[in-house]
Amino acid sequence: MKADHLSWSLISLFSAIHLGAFLYAFGWHSAIYILVLMLLAGGFLLVRLGNRQGASFDWRLEVLFWLVQAMIAAAAVMQESEYIRLLFFLLFLLVEVIRAIQVRKLSKFSKEINRLDEEIFRMNETFRTVRSERHDFLKHIAAIHFMLEKEEFKEAGAYLDVLVDGYNETNLSIKGESGAVAATLHQYYLKAQKEGMEIIYDIEVPISSMPVPDKELVGLVGNLLENCVEACLNWKKANQQHAFITLQLVKRSGLYILTVKNKSLPIPAKILDRLYHQYGLSTKAGNERGYGTKIIADIVKKHQGVLDFVYKEEEFTVKIKLPSIR
Amino acid sequence: MKIGLVDDRAIDLDKLAGIVSSIPEAEIVFATTSAEEAYEQIKKESITLLIADIEMPNLSGYELADIIHSHALNIAVIFVTASSGYAVHAFELNVHDYIMKPYSKDRLVQSVKRLMEKTSSAEIAGRLYIKQKNDIHIILKKEIIFIERSGRSTTIHTKSEAIKTYQTLNELEGELRERDFVRSHRSFIINIHCIKSFSLYAKNSYTVTFEGTEAKAMITKEKVEFIQNNYF
């Protein structure tokens, strides 16, 4: 970031001198420091826009860009005519703008790849769980069969209880869902369980039946649950009480109504006012936070849905209504 | 909502009754420690929700739920139990919730409220009187799926037939409650409870498909947003 600031300051300074000289040649005398300030401000804005998502090119490509820009600058210096110099200056700026646009795109793609990587990991984990259950299935049957043959009914019953308990975990999440959604539901179920919380999935129609591509569904449900688990965990730590999260999906009048409820510590009004509207708003610590809510809002908006949230009596409720558009 | 409670431990039953009675709109029809008594009540279909323990002598909560499920009775079930062993079977029986003891008041209250929201089906009351030449046609309002104006006549599509009339949409609109019927388009009034899905027709309008009929209606984008913002 610092190197970027320096580079932009330098560009601004050179551009200001250049522009100043150009205007001077036309007899428009303006103070060079005003131009420097103007361009610094412009440069700063561009840096903020370009780097908001925190990515940059590979160093080779960066060097190449700088080389091209240096050549343009050198060519400009060698020119006599002010018009041609202006042309070179504009060319220089154009290259910079292209660089900024491409960095933005790149950062978007790299985020997407990271998310998909996580998704693949989650799917593999869930698949592994289901596969291991399947793998052990016959062994369990054999064990129960053996106990029943020996008329050890009580032992067989106890064995079955433990077994069924384990199946419950996967059964809740995979019912009627596509692989990606099931994996997300299952992973958050496990995560909550690990933290001593309970997730209640009250799903009347499968989440996968919503008219939203799997990739976005995972982004939607994953981010919603991620926020819930984190908020609920903080609440649980502060209150030392049993905490639970409810995710409900019903379909009414051609609308999918997804409601997520969880306990949450008070949210500062400043954040609450602009939640789901702006990137980077978060009560969580660390960098790169606060994207989840914006991603959720973007997906809902893209599918003509509406999002509403309420914080009342330590309970945070998000309600999303998406029309069933076929 | 009419609720029945059954738990063989009196102390647990008292806790249940205490929590459920604090929920507005919840009416406890019976609270018993005897599963047999609960069974008698279920047979009478005197309740819409049964909150039951699973492990009880003679007749288990699981068996009660099984009876409800196999007779397709209109009774929802919430299990409140100390054993997690039945959870998988419970979900096969379409049990609304499975709450592990010990539980918090909130946990049970939310579960019941969620069910109330889900089952609060708007029963549309009243009839519509349609003049047809010398006859008067009586239509139950809840039977109406949508009404379409085409040319100089209006067609009322109900679950069983399509009835033609010369009354205008404005006249009919006045007789139908706004909560259930929406003027979705210049030429349509639709029953919002019957909507199945939308499909894009033009930039600012959708066609609407319904449960119970092949016929389609139109709705503007604005009205879809209106429903999204003002209903549910």
CATH number of the domain that residue B220 is part of: 2.40.50.1020
CA distance A57 to A99: 9
Specify whether A101 is located in the same domain as A224. Answer: no
Residues of chain B contacting A241 with CB distance shorter than 8 Å: 104
Count of domains observed in chain B:
2
Q: What is the mean pLDDT of chain B?
A: 88
Q: Which of B119, B137, B170 is the last residue of a domain?
A: B119
Specify whether A104 is located in the same domain as A227. Answer: no
Q: Which of A111, A130, A148 is the last residue of a domain?
A: A111
Do strands B144-150 and B153-158 pair parallel, antiparallel, or not at all (unpaired)?
antiparallel
Q: Report helix, strand or coil for B198.
A: strand
Residue A45 pLDDT: 64
Smallest CA–CA distance, residue B210 to chain A, in Å, is 9
Specify whether B108 is located in the same domain as B142. Answer: no
What is the domain range of residue B47?
2-119
Are B176 and B139 contacting, i.e. CB atoms less than 8 angstroms apart? no
B189, containing H or E segment: strand B188-191
CA distance A192 to A228: 10
Residue A287 pLDDT: 43
Sheet holding B27-32, edge to edge: B27-32, B2-6, B49-52, B76-81, B97-100
Q: Which of A111, A130, A153 is the last residue of a domain?
A: A111
Chain-chain contact of B228 with A161 (C-beta, under 8 angstroms): no
Give the best residue of A154, A253, A258, A326 to mutate against chain B (max B CB count within 10 A).
A253
Segment-wise mean pLDDT, segments of 10 residues, chain A, 326 residues: 67 72 66 65 63 67 87 82 80 86 86 84 81 81 87 85 72 74 88 88 89 89 91 89 90 92 85 69 51 86 91 90 91
Specify whether B134 is located in the same domain as B188. Answer: yes
Which portions of chain B are predicted below pLDDT 70? 121-123
CA distance A114 to A145: 47
Chain-chain contact of A261 with B231 (C-beta, under 8 angstroms): no
Q: Which of A93, A111, A129 is the last residue of a domain?
A: A111
Q: DSSP character for A325? A: B
Q: In whole angstroms, how large is the CA radius of gyration of chain A?
A: 29
Give contacts of A 76-135 with B, CB under 8 A.
none
Amino acid identity, position A308: D
Instruction: Answer whether residue A143 is part of any domain.
Output: no
Specify whether B156 is located in the same domain as B215. Answer: yes
Residue A38 pLDDT: 66
| CATH (domain of B82) | 3.40.50.2300
CA distance A112 to B20: 47
Q: Which residue has the tokens 């913002």?
A: B229
Specify whether B60 is located in the same domain as B90. Answer: yes
Residue A288 pLDDT: 44
Specify whether B131 is located in the same domain as B115. Answer: no
Specify whether B8 is located in the same domain as B115. Answer: yes
Specify whether A207 is located in the same domain as A320. Answer: yes
Specify whether A207 is located in the same domain as A326. Answer: yes
Specify whether A86 is located in the same domain as A203. Answer: no
Q: Which residue has the tokens 């259950």?
A: A133
Residues of chain B contacting A162 with CB distance shorter than 8 Å: 85
Residue A286 pLDDT: 44
A324 reaches B (C-beta below 8 A): yes
Q: DSSP character for B27? A: E
Specify whether A101 is located in the same domain as A202. Answer: no
Residue of B96, B221, B231 with shortest CB distance to A253: B231
Work out whether the CA dihedral B9, B10, B11, B16 comes out positive or negative.
positive
Q: Give the pair of three-digit tokens for residue A70.
A: 């240096």
Residues 6 or more apart whose CB falls under 8 angstroms from that of B90 comprise B62, B65, B79, B98
Give the best residue of A185, A255, A260, A312 to mutate against chain B (max B CB count within 10 A).
A255
Amino acid identity, position A260: V
Are A192 and A229 contacting, i.e. CB atoms less than 8 angstroms apart? yes
Closest by Cα among A290, A310, A312, A292 to A300: A292
Instruction: Answer whether residue A213 is part of any domain.
Output: yes
| Phi (first) and psi of residue A303, to 5 degrees | -105, 30
Tallying the residues shown for chain A, one arrives at 326
CA atoms within 13 A on the CB side of A178: 16
Specify whether B105 is located in the same domain as B147. Answer: no
Q: DSSP character for A102? A: H
Are A322 and A258 contacting, i.e. CB atoms less than 8 angstroms apart? yes
A160 reaches B (C-beta below 8 A): yes
Interface of B with A (CB under 8 A): 83-89, 91, 96-97, 100, 103-104, 106-107, 110-111, 114, 118, 192-200, 206, 208-209, 221, 224-225, 227-229, 231-232
Q: Give the pair of three-digit tokens for residue A147.
A: 């106990």
B1, containing H or E segment: none
Q: DSSP character for A270? A: H
Residue of A246, A253, A306 with shortest CB distance to B195: A253
Chain-chain contact of A250 with B118 (C-beta, under 8 angstroms): yes
Specify whether B147 is located in the same domain as B212. Answer: yes
| Phi (first) and psi of residue B69, to 5 degrees | -65, -45
ω into residue B24 within 30 of 0, thus cis? no
Specify whether A322 is located in the same domain as A203. Answer: yes
Instruction: Answer whether residue A191 is part of any domain.
Output: no
Q: Which of B73, B101, B119 is the last residue of a domain?
A: B119
Specify whether B56 is located in the same domain as B78. Answer: yes
Q: Which of B68, B85, B119 is the last residue of a domain?
A: B119
Beta strands in chain A (DSSP E): 198-203, 244-252, 255-263, 306-312, 315-323
Give the best residue of B228, B229, B230, B231 to mutate against chain A (max A CB count within 10 A).
B228
A202 reaches B (C-beta below 8 A): yes
Q: Report helix, strand or coil for B21.
A: helix
Residues of chain A contacting B200 with CB distance shorter than 8 Å: 325
Chain-chain contact of B91 with A172 (C-beta, under 8 angstroms): yes
Residues of chain B contacting A314 with CB distance shorter than 8 Å: none
Are B20 and B27 contacting, i.e. CB atoms less than 8 angstroms apart? no
Specify whether B147 is located in the same domain as B131. Answer: yes
Chain-chain contact of A200 with B97 (C-beta, under 8 angstroms): yes
What is the domain range of residue A202?
197-326
Are B189 and B183 contacting, i.e. CB atoms less than 8 angstroms apart? yes
Instruction: Answer whether residue A157 is part of any domain.
Output: no
Instruction: Answer whether residue A119 is part of any domain.
Output: no
Q: Which residue has the tokens 């973007």?
A: A298
Query: Nearest-5° angle of CA A271, CA A272, CA A273?
Result: 90
Instruction: Answer whether residue A220 is part of any domain.
Output: yes
CA distance A313 to A225: 20
Work out whether the CA dihedral A270, A274, A279, A285 comes out positive or negative.
positive
Give the best residue of B116, B220, B227 to mutate against chain A (max A CB count within 10 A).
B227
Count of domains observed in chain A:
2
A326 reaches B (C-beta below 8 A): yes
